[in-house]
Chains A and B, each alone.
Chain A
Amino acid sequence: MNIEQYLKDVLSIQTFSNDDPELVVLREKRKEVENILRDAFPGVTIRYAGSYAKNTMIRVCHDLDLACYFDHEDKQAGDSLEEIRNSVDTALSKYFTVSPKTSALRLEEGSPSKQYTHVDVVPGRFINGDRGDVFLYQHGVEKCRLMTNLDTHIQTIRDSGLTDVIQLAKYWANISGIQVKTFVLELLVVKILGPHKSKSLSQKLKIFWEYLRDNLAELSVDDPANPEGNDLMPILDKAKEGLNFGATMTLQTIQAFGWEQVFGSRESEIPESVRLDAINSFARSRIDGTKPWSE
């Protein structure tokens, strides 16, 4: 097996083509949300954020992230950041079930059988007239104001020259059962592989995993939009054990059985509908399944 070709095949399965039906749905969803918000708040800035903007979207797990930013002097949604968030929440709640996340408002809809079922809208306000830095309101945490910059985030990842590795790293984390915030994972890839961009895909992945396996204590990332103000270490610390363990097991797997055991083969991919059917059928048919307990 040619490893590089295999990894490119894995990547191509996970990457959406421009005319993919799921992307068409995603763009229509953006229009729908954008129309609702522009009706409520004329002149507001709506932009793609997240993996769509960074060119790191993968098929197995993706959602739509939208930034909803008000100009510095724009008070139509309120004076304070909290008022802005609440106003956006109210506008969207007429059409969706809205769940509050820390910075985002999550719009739930669609059937459980859909690959993605939510849209995250992040309300904020530009700090000044250059429409770069923004303030966001953080719900449910002590530090309720966060400064960030969407362009900086997008450029750091999209222009890193490492989006292919980032996609495979995201896929790996998802299929391995590793819980890690996507943004932190992206930054880790950029930091660890910055000096290794000229290497092959398999070499870059191995270097990435070896670093996660061998340098757990030194692992750190900074938010490029606000390195002094936004501390990402608590988020990274929560994920360290999983990343370290997962990387260790993955390298062992490659050594013992090869790359196909890590990402699977084309033949082993199953449609989400088949997966869900199997889950529902097993739940109905399993006799005397164990009932979990805890002391």
Chain B
Amino acid sequence: MSSRRQPPNVDELRNLIQKRYPQLFVDRNNGQYVIRGRFPVRAEKVVVDYYLVEVFVGNGFPLVTPVAREVGGRIPRIADRHVYGDGALCLFSPLERWKHLPDSSTILTYLDGPLNDYFFSQTYFEKYGDWPFGERGHGKAGVMEYLAEVLGTDDPNVAIRFLECLKGRDPKGHWLCFCGSGKKMRKCHLERVIALREKVTVEEINHAIYMLTLT
């Protein structure tokens, strides 16, 4: 599993962010970093919009995704706009965190990447009523969409066994594959298991299993 590294201090974080985001201010509060201010949404080099944001970054970053809120009131706090009732934004499903916030990520990776993508998508949706990069279905459906892309099947039982395999013992090539194909792992899904095992956390796997077992 991914390891955690020493978090920067407040001044280091300010220096990291300031040049690119001069209207974001960094403070430390209750053991978290809090980044607040006016977030510029970039489409390549062009600033196309602004949102007022508040981002809470815990010491577990990047394995623990920061909690971001849009404070200006522009985005309705409804599931269809991918905002929770308390205003927290849902940038991606937890199981996909590794794609957008790999282990080497800095806070700039987060701001330039998934947070910018999210707000860009909201601006695009306001204009055109559509999600430019697509969207995941709510809850269980969204988790299953991703796993179906990984596994090539939308069978939730296979998905759950895959997830169990991710957090279990190191898989062996001679094991029968979890997917029920009857093939040995090395001839079936072994590579996919190995590829993902190092990238996702146990918490993310357990959360996905929980979502898939909801009725």
Contacts and interface: CB of A to CB of B under 8 A. Distances in A.
Interface of A: 112, 175-180, 238-239, 241-242, 245-246, 249, 252-253, 256-257, 261, 268, 270, 274-275, 278-279, 281-283, 285-286, 288-295
Given A176-B38, A241-B73, A257 B22 contact: yes
Given A176-B38, A290-B114, A294-B84, A279 B48 contact: yes
B37 interface: yes
A290 B117 contact: yes
Interface string B46-79: 1111111010000000000000001111100001
Contacts of A294: 79, 82-84, 90, 138-139, 142
B132 A286 contact: yes
Contact of A290 (B83, B100, B123, B211): B100
Contact of A176 (B25, B50, B121, B134): B50
A179 B118 contact: no
Interface residues of B, number: 54
Interface of B: 22-23, 25, 36-38, 43-44, 46-52, 54, 70-74, 79, 82-84, 89-93, 96, 99-100, 113-114, 117-118, 120-121, 123-124, 127-128, 131-139, 142, 211
Contacts of A279: 43, 48, 120, 123-124, 127
A290 B121 CA distance: 9
A178 B74 CA distance: 6
A289 to B, nearest CB: 3
B26 to A, nearest CB: 11
A113 B29 CA distance: 43
Given A245-B52, A291-B131, A270 B46 contact: yes
A256 to B, nearest CB: 8
Contact of A278 (B23, B44, B82, B121): B44
B133 A286 contact: yes
A21 to B, nearest CB: 23
A180 B73 contact: yes
10 closest residue pairs by CB, A with B:
A289-B133, A282-B43, A179-B73, A292-B82, A283-B132, A278-B46, A293-B136, A177-B72, A278-B43, A293-B93
A249 B38 CA distance: 7
A289 B73 contact: no
20 contacts: A112-B127, A177-B74, A180-B73, A241-B71, A242-B52, A246-B71, A249-B36, A252-B37, A253-B37, A253-B38, A261-B23, A275-B48, A279-B48, A279-B127, A281-B43, A282-B132, A285-B44, A288-B99, A291-B131, A293-B142
